[in-house]
Amino acid sequence: MKTKTLLMMALVLQACAHKDICVWETSSEGEQLVQKTEFVPAEKKVVIEINSTEERQTLTGIGGSFTEATSSLLAQMSKEKRQEVIDAYFGPDGARYSLTRTHVGSCDFSRGHYCYDEVKGDTLLEHFSIKVDEETLLPLIKDAQKTSHDGFRIVASPWTAPFWMKDNQEYVGGALLPEYQKVYADYLVKYLEAYKAKGVDIWGLTPVNEPYGNGNNWESMYFDPPYEAAFVRDYLGPAFEKAGFGNTQILGYDQNRNGIPEWVNAMYADEATAKYFGGLAVHWYESTVEWQPDMLTYAHDKAPGKLIIETEGCCDAEVPHWKDDAWYWKCEGTDWGWDWAPEEQKYLHPKYVPVFRYARDIIGCLNNWVNGWIDWNMVLDRQGGPNWANNWCLAPVIVDPKADEVYFTPMYYALSHFSRFLRPEAKVLGVKCESKDVMATAVRNPNGKIVVVVMNQGKIPMGLDLAIDGKHYNLSITKEAIQTIIIK
């Protein structure tokens, strides 16, 4: 017993002797981005090999989305609590979000239907106005800009064109009428101009969110791959160039990963089309456990120089569990996909651990050529809204405006392990980690430091042999935990 104790002490001291590393951990045991300096050895060990000479894609950023639901909730909070949340996401000691998204016109996480020109037949867009966004959405974005020391990029996504440009004359469902393609392109240019005039530059834009629709449950507009590719080639791309927005990244598709092949085949079919696409936008709703590396790799191989951005993911079909940290670490999450998936694909939608679903997907995406990763709503209420379609979801931060209370769920800390430490322009590095329970990804930040994020989904602690360029760091990770390791 004495020998075992002495051995344990020696190993702890050995870990503490690594003066060139800094480790942060969040776990089901209650740690929330706690800095660790001592590492108790574990019975089992996994080797994580980092190849610092294998530089893969460049990181665009990691973050979440500005929605009317989020902005309207924060507008109901006290000034102090509202700023607390903004600091938590964008401040230098917070999650430091660097890549965000917002909606162009209304979406389900709005208080109702709206667009920026509701006058039928206004092909000159003389009644275009973003006044509705000036109520709560733009003020939130502007305050986030003031809070962020490093700045952040914004991807904008319309859920639909104005209803009068569509074949069904509705916000929900239908398709863009061919004769309105130029007007719709002009409409999106006006959006970029209007936001720029307010001091908000839009870095990227998708022609429409989820072009295959959502079962006609909320705002949507159908685009098939050839139609969207032709729209971008003949109208949107040239309109952006003419208006001085040629550097705005047009990201095609913007839905689940199973559809990637047919979309990139159309987007990159020829140079005349491909030149207008900055890359591909994808979502995660095809599965609660699978990040579909074959689909992501297909997109990369089709156009290695183009971006792949995960533009939306959230835990849907759930009502938030208020101040119940333990639930977010339990395998009790369910998703809407179980309802809509055909019987032969329901195995892709088992119950899941919310914290692990986030970390697993981000790690899997980064290890398979994805440049950026964006969560959905930053803030929701205790019902998982507001959402006019009653499409309740989880968010990393939950608020109760009546009580002026804020709850930072474990998902907030899980996301922070990535967004706070993996910075824009970092190079994703080659990683080998052969384990059922442990996953890892690594980058070299612009400052030259290597950052490794490790997830342990197992029920026991795991020893980590972190091997980088012939040097070994003997560490350990708590059971059911996420770690960020910074090599100084």
pTM, whole model, 2 decimals? 0.95
3-state secondary structure of 304: coil
Give the domain 17-56+429-487 fold: Immunoglobulin-like (2.60.40)
Torsion of CA 420, 353, 382, 410, to 10 degrees: -30
Tokens of 58: 């460049």
pLDDT in tens, 185-199: 999 999 999 999 999
Cβ proximity of 232 and 184 under 8 Å: no
pLDDT, residue 12, reads 36
Helix-helix angle 68-75:137-147, to 10 degrees:
80
Contact of 269 with 229, CB cutoff 8 Å: yes
What's 352's DSSP letter?
A: B
In whole angstroms, what is the distance from residue 264 CA to residue 413 CA? Answer: 34
pLDDT reported for residue 284: 98
As a CATH number, domain 60-424 is 3.20.20.80
Residues of the chain with CATH 2.60.40.1180: 17-56+429-487
Q: Tens of pLDDT along 379-408?
A: 999 999 999 999 999 999 999 999 999 999
Q: Whole-angstrom Cα distance, residue 245 to residue 242? A: 7
Partners of 256 in beta bridges: 283
pLDDT at 19: 80
What are the pLDDT digits (tens) for 12-32? 334 444 689 999 999 999 999
Between the CA of residue 281 and those of 56, 98, 223, 284, 418, what are the distances in Å?
19, 17, 14, 11, 19
Amino acid at 478: T
Q: In this structure, which amino acid lies at residue 68?
A: E
pLDDT of residue 404: 99
Residues carrying CATH 3.20.20.80, the chain: 60-424
Listed as ranges, residues in the chain with pLDDT below 70 are 1-18
Number of helical H runs and strand E runs in the chain: 13, 20
